[in-house]
Amino acid sequence: MSFLSTLNSRWAATGSLLCVGLDPDPDKFPNSLRNDVGSIARFCIDIIDATAEFVCAFKPQIAYFAAVAAEHQLEQVCHHIRANHPTIPLILDAKRGDIGDTAALYAREAFDRYGAHAVTVSPYLGTDSIEPFLAHSGKGVFVLCRTSNAGSGEFQSQVSHGLPLYQHIASRAASDWATKGEVGLVVGATYPAELKIVRDIVGDMTLLVPGIGAQGGDPHAVITHGSNSVGRGLIVNSSRAILYASSTDHAAGAHAAARAAAATLV
């Protein structure tokens, strides 16, 4: 099944818009795992199994693995999702953006090495930097549009030809990129007014929405302003608020807290 077909099936089966972001920081692990880089895969897999029934997707962030030379553990995590939760889409948060030949290699990394169903990319280098990802039939490509970080407006809100840059990106995604593949946009929960503007531009396109939980985004505002015409169209990501929901020193308690936190966000 294609990414969008898998996602639509998951939405229908669970009614959930929640995506759990896998941002493993060994400094924040329970005591039995703390500061042990070798335990990253174990920590993530336990979180995955604890929260799987409540989610529409999982989103591992590649930097948390690559920074500590744990790419092999990322492969293990991705394999676990595909093998044990095959109905749940896997989105690799990589934010790649480079010239065509290099972008083609980044696409192979995401889709062939890690087996992701979708990947996040930057549009800054233009359409030819996105096309190598779109060339992978049935895979999802989430383009950064209006991101959740505090400094995002420095460039994304700059006005060109009467519109801020993020609106140009949304328009290009709807009119061009979506005709070439399974395209969505990344729009932060921290900017609900802009989220509504993007939804109005792109129609029923899928939006990946980070910024719930630790960054302060309001889930109700996201659903109100971001849902599509059938009340879906959103993948609402929460990472730290679920991964580190408990202050317990015991792994079992941490996983139970993550499960409870995920249940409250569904």
Which residues are tagged catalytic? 95
Tokens of 89: 């889409």
Q: How many CB atoms are closer than 10 A to CB 31?
A: 11
- The DSSP secondary structure of 189-212, one letter per residue, reads TT-HHHHHHHHHHHTT--EEE--B
Backbone φ and ψ for 94, nearest 5 degrees, come out as: -120, -25
Distance CA 187, CA 241 (A): 19
Backbone φ and ψ for 139, nearest 5 degrees, come out as: -100, 150
Tokens of 218: 């309001």
Amino acid occupying residue 52: A
CA atoms lying within 13 Å on the CB side of residue 122: 11
Q: How far is CA 221 from CA 196, 199, 224, in A?
A: 10, 13, 5
Supply the angle between the helices 71-84 and 40-51 in degrees, to the nearest 10.
Answer: 20
Distance CA 152, CA 129 (A): 21
Backbone φ and ψ for 171, nearest 5 degrees, come out as: -65, -40
